[in-house]
Amino acid sequence: MGLSVRIPRLRENSRFAFYGIADGGTFSSGVQNTEFLKIDDDWAKQLARQSGLAAILVGEGTGGKPVHFGEVAAFSLGASQLRVQHSTRAFPNQPWIPDRDSVYPDVMLRLRSSDHFTRHDAWMALAQVRSRRLPAAPEGEATVVNAASFRPEHGIAPGAWASSFGAFPAGPAELRIEGRPAQVIASTPNQLVFRVPPETAPGARRARLRSRTAPGRPLRGEPSRARPIHGERRGPHAARRHPQSGRQPQRRGLSRAARQRSADLCHRPGTRRPPPVWISGELSEVQYSGRTASGRWQINAVVPAAAAVGTVPVYVAAGGLASNAVTVQVE
């Protein structure tokens, strides 16, 4: 109830957004809670003492159906005295939720082992960067993904490196994206690595590959305005902070090695705002953000005073997308 009362005032802020997280462990009353997070204003007016949250769900589909059975009761069998549990009530789906095999999120993302090993909560990251959608999944005979991570949710960006997988002709190849030539740096019968032309506009785009031995064939991809990605996954880097008696711990930036190795960010030309960086789940102060002579993007960030001690995740956001995480050792 407290949140329902606060919703009208919170919405006075045009940047306010409400996010919910669900996954396969969400079932029974958890599914009902997920359904009520999706109430919009129209349905809220028909429900007493309710406010329309219209939350953006991220994560995976719930483990239970919107239509389900619950309110479990138990009884003992007469002869064996074994305890038996059974459901006593059928719960229908809420009218604003379709009757499907699950309540599906607005932003679907499947976790990977790399998220677990880097202690990275990828779903919370989607909420923190205010993701409303992810790049369209690659499709067709030749698919295009981010060349640094091969994860479709990271997308590709103007000026960034991309990889296409399919069956390609042998020999030198010429690739054009919306008529603009793309720099091809590697070509094999199954993979093509190329640089997206910096002038490419965001959105679904078509490319055509031509070679001397085969006619042109289409490729499809969806460039976004920015593509945040940590291109190297090395061991934990060191970042020190020194607690002082009676005061907050002194904040220091990541070590030079960590700064140089942990961040690879590609912006659409003209983007000037420094991308936010989260360290140990805390928003960090970015002191520098710019392209290096090698073409990579360097970010200098301050370790937040509230950051946990030990091996913690670091990730970058840009264009409503969150990067994969790397770890640093905070001491």
Read off the pLDDT of each residue in 126-130 and give the average, rounded to a whole number: 93
Grouping H, G, I as helix, E, B as strand and the rest as coil, residue 113 is helix
Domain 228-330 in the same topology as domain 143-223: yes
Distances (CA, A) of 261 to 65, 238, 257, 288, 298: 44, 12, 6, 15, 9
User: Does residue 136 surpass a pLDDT of 80?
Assistant: no
| CATH for 228-330, options being 3.40.50, 3.30.450, 2.20.25, 2.60.40 | 2.60.40
Reported as a single tens digit per residue, the pLDDT across 253-303 is: 343 333 333 333 443 334 468 899 999 999 999 999 988 887 678 899 999
User: Does residue 245 surpass a pLDDT of 50?
Assistant: no
**CA proximity to 154, closest of 57, 223, 201, 233:** 223
Reported as a single tens digit per residue, the pLDDT across 193-241 is: 999 898 888 777 777 877 765 555 556 556 655 556 665 444 455 555 5
Q: How far apart are CA 255 and CA 237, in angstroms?
A: 8
What is 143-223's CATH number? 2.60.40.10
Tell me the pairing of strands 321-322 and 226-229.
Answer: unpaired
Reported as a single tens digit per residue, the pLDDT across 85-104 is: 999 999 999 999 999 999 99
The domain locations on the chain are: 2-108, 143-223, 228-330
**CA proximity to 264, closest of 219, 214, 315:** 315
DSSP per residue, 146-198: ETTT--GGG-B-TT-EEEEES---SS-EEEEETTEEEEEEEE-SSEEEEEPPT
Amino acid at residue number 259? R
Grouping H, G, I as helix, E, B as strand and the rest as coil, residue 2 is helix
